[in-house]
Chains A and B, each alone.
Chain A
Amino acid sequence: MLQNTTSVPDKHGKFGPYGGQFVPETLMPAIEELIQAYDDARNDPAFMAEFDYLLKSYVGRPSPISHAKRLSAALGGAQIYLKREDLNHSGAHKINNALGQALLAKRMGKQRIVAETGAGQHGVGSATACALLGLECIVYMGSVDIARQQPNVYRMKLLGAEVVPVESGSKTLKDAINEAIRDWVTNVDSTHYLLGSVLGPHPYPMMVRDFQSIIGIEAREQLLNEVGRLPDTIIACVGGGSNAMGIFHAFREDEAVDLIGVEAGGEGIASGKHAARFADLAISRIGVLHGTKSYVMQTPDGQIMETHSISAGLDYPSVGPEHALLRDQERAGYTYATDEEALAAFQTLCKTEGIIPALESSHAMAEAIKRAPTMRPDQIILVNLSGRGDKDLDTVMRALAL
């Protein structure tokens, strides 16, 4: 079931000073329509039942939690549990939101879906959901990302999606979003924009969070049932921030639970080649990108900066507005892991637990590996293992020169 009992966002889509609806007029009516349609849908038991049924029978939910025993023992501190979103059909948490929005699009009578993708996981999730529901799917993907995530490009094509390479700007996720929005504004009557993270104009940050909140709802119940207590710390990687919001949301009232988001530290903060929006406030300031107000990596003149991460899914210059609010409220803390640390964590998880994690999720693992030894063996760290790493094998092989 979805949860939406929090006080944010307000009816204008504001998360405190963040969020909002900064889009061209042409899109405003479509956004109003979407707000209404989503509100109707989430209050319609039949819609929710269909969504729940697909999550169970098609995605394979609930995804299990795994106790990483060998890793925990090797680190000699807290017990690490993994929320296994990597075991979802199509390989990541992205499918939760893709299915929810595709169902909503169908309900709205929109037969054409456009989506952006960075790592390709959201593109694959969208293509999968569209194949399942019989919708046309166009995925915009930066040409740089296409080169580094080839397996996912093949998957999307096999699933019947059209993958459109984006050559503008930095040729990565932010440019793919620009192109998806340009398509949406041009074909707004027939088309739903299936945005893949807690970004963009209201209602997307709220709606995507709600569709992903199943992660935390399940994990909370699973830990209570299987271990008998809540975790001390929850760790998730943050690109746009949908898997993190998804696992954080159910724990927001559990004040004893530390919520930690891990951004992409790239080649290190000093290098300037990273996507750590909260770590480098010299170049990351409050701004507006892709319809929402949040922290944005930008030049002094307000031009959006190119970011760097070994993981395409974290390579984005802004961050979901609700994360900015959680950070202001000190309800969540944010840190970063470098490319090197993520790669090391990737290998560690492969060897100690027999799990190949996505490079994105490896950032969260890196933080867990840093923290566990500083905690007691009776404490618990819950890591959102947001996706599997099959898509990253080429990148990892090259980086490790294997």
Chain B
Amino acid sequence: MTNTFETKNGRSHIAAAFAQAQETQSAALMPYFTLGFPDRATSLDVVEAIAPYSDLIELGVPFSDPLADGPTIQRSTQIALENGTTTADCLAMVRELRLRGVDKPFLLMGYYNPILAYGIETYVRDAAAAGADGFIVPDLPPEEADEFEQAAQAADLVLIPFLAPTSNPERIATIAPKAQGFIYLVSVAGVTGARSQVQSDLGEFVARVREYARVPLAVGFGIGTPEQAAKVGALADGVIVGSALVSVADKAEAKSEAAGAFVASLQAGLKKG
């Protein structure tokens, strides 16, 4: 696969991925998968299999107490930990995926305590060296993120901020203009996991954030079908699908094939025309 965009990791890699997706899709597609689930080798195969249909990829770094995650991702991270997956190992997997030629932007999604244990600066530096582009840390709101943000900026990687339907106008006005990379919009108050319907007031929420944002807006939580992806893609710049993909891989015999086919179907839902 040829790169028409700047290949340097970080901010520009992410921006180029959103721009390129817009040429053929209503929104960029960012699947999530847990590193080390159901085992190391399979998780690498799954990520490689979904890459051709993905614009960016969110890679889950397991934590014992994932309080923003629903049962599906909880279980996957639990199994990854039982397999002995560590933070250092996750960074090694990022490197391995780059060596295998997976060139999509990688966002490392992990909770704050393992990052503190690893050391903030070391973590960011090692992640950059391994080929990651940015970080999603669900229990690190902007109020607490100064140190991490400085480290990320020094490495030219980004810390992706969240906004939620509960975020009031003051928070949106403060957080959105400063955001780099993209903003992760939580579609619904709650934890991760597939839901039967997309929130009916999502368009209004996206519009409220759009007023202040200078980066793309990607929506996650509760999106699990091509129809839902299409609906969200019509409103936002990016669509994030996690639990549904983990669940598909979990249930399938041939995991990477099933995961690839599922992400391809999500992408088809986003195709223009």
Instruction: Tell whether, in the assembled complex, residue A26 and residue B139 are in contact, meaning their CB atoms are under 8 Å apart.
Output: no
A177 → chain B, closest Cβ, in Å? 8
Query: Is B74's beta carbon under 8 Å from chain A?
Result: yes
* A29 interface residue per 8 A CB criterion: yes
B81 at interface (Cβ–Cβ under 8 A)?
yes
CB-based contact B68/A24 at 8 Å? yes
Q: Which of A5-64 contact B (CB under 8 A)?
A: 12, 20-30, 32
B65 contacts the other chain (CB 8 A): yes
Check A24/B139 contact, CB under 8 A, given A188-B166, A301-B87: yes
Would you give the 0/1 interface string for A267-298, flagging 1 where the beta carbon is closer than 8 Å to chain B? 00000000000000000011111110000101
Instruction: Say yes or no: A188 contacts B189, CB within 8 Å.
Output: yes
Q: If the complex has contacts A25-B167, A301-B87, are A288 and B143 also in contact, measured as CB distance less than 8 A?
A: no
Interface set, chain B 174-201, CB cutoff 8 A to A: 186, 189-191
Residues of chain B lying within 8 A (CB to CB) of residue A189: 166, 189
B67 touches A22 (CB 8 A): no
Interface of A is mostly: mixed
Q: Per a CB cutoff under 8 Å, which of B65, B143, B191 touches A21?
A: B143
| Residue B164 interfacial (CB < 8 Å) | yes
B66, B139, B161, B165: which contacts A23 (Cβ < 8 A)? B139
Contacts of A304 in B (CB 8 A): 64-65, 113
A27 to B78, CA, bound (A): 24
Contact-residue size bin, chain B (C-beta under 8 Å from the other chain): 35 or more
Among the listed A23, A175, A302, which residue makes an inter-chain contact with B118, where contact means beta carbons less than 8 Å apart?
A302
Q: Is A303 an interface residue (CB 8 A)?
A: yes
A28 → chain B, closest Cβ, in Å?
Answer: 5
Is A370 close to B, CB under 8 A?
A: no
Contact B65 A174 (CB under 8 A): yes
User: Which residues on A sit within 8 Å (CB–CB) of B113?
Assistant: 287-289, 296, 298, 302, 304
Q: Complex Cα distance A30/B113, Å?
A: 23
Contact A182 B114 (CB under 8 A): no
Quick one: which of B140-179 are within 8 Å of A by CB? 140-141, 143-144, 161-168, 171
CA distance A288 to B113 in the complex (A): 5
**Does B117 lie within 8 Å of A25, measured CB to CB?**
no
- Determine if A301 and B67 form an interchain contact, defined as CB atoms under 8 angstroms apart: no
In the bound complex, how far is the Cα of B168 from the Cα of A156, in angstroms? 36
The reply to whether A287 and B116 form a contact with Cβ atoms under 8 Å apart is: yes
Q: Return the contact of A20 from the options B66, B144, B162 (Cβ within 8 A).
A: B144
A290 and B67 in contact, given A21-B143, A22-B140, A185-B190 (Cβ under 8 angstroms): yes
**Contacts A301-B114, A302-B113, A302-B118; A25 near B190 (Cβ below 8 A):** no
B138 contacts A by Cβ under 8 Å: yes
Whether, in the assembled complex, B112 has its beta carbon less than 8 Å from a beta carbon of chain A, the answer is yes
Binary CB contact string for chain A from 58 to 80 against chain B (1 if under 8 A, 0 otherwise): 00000000000000000000000
B86 contacts the other chain (CB 8 A): yes
A185-B189, A287-B117 as given contacts; A28 in contact with B171, CB under 8 Å: yes
Q: Does chain B have a CB within 8 A of A300?
A: yes
Residue among A12, A30, A185, A299 with the highest chain B CB neighbour number at 10 A: A185
CB pair A22 B65 closer than 8 Å: no
A187, closest chain B residue (CB): B189
Complex CA distance for A186 and B189, rounded to whole angstroms: 5
CB distance from B246 to the nearest CB of A (A): 16
A223 → chain B, closest Cβ, in Å?
40
Cross-interface CB contact of A289 among B65, B138, B190, cutoff 8 Å: B65
Other A-B contacts than A25-B186, A30-B166, 20 sampled, CB-CB below 8 A, are A20-B144, A22-B112, A22-B144, A24-B67, A24-B186, A26-B167, A28-B141, A178-B66, A182-B70, A182-B191, A185-B68, A185-B190, A188-B189, A287-B116, A288-B112, A290-B67, A298-B113, A302-B116, A302-B118, A304-B113
Interface residues of A (CB under 8 A from B): 12, 20-30, 32, 168-169, 174-175, 178, 181-182, 185-189, 285-291, 296, 298-304
* A-B complex: 6 closest residue pairs judged by Cβ atoms: A302-B117, A302-B114, A25-B162, A26-B164, A186-B190, A303-B64
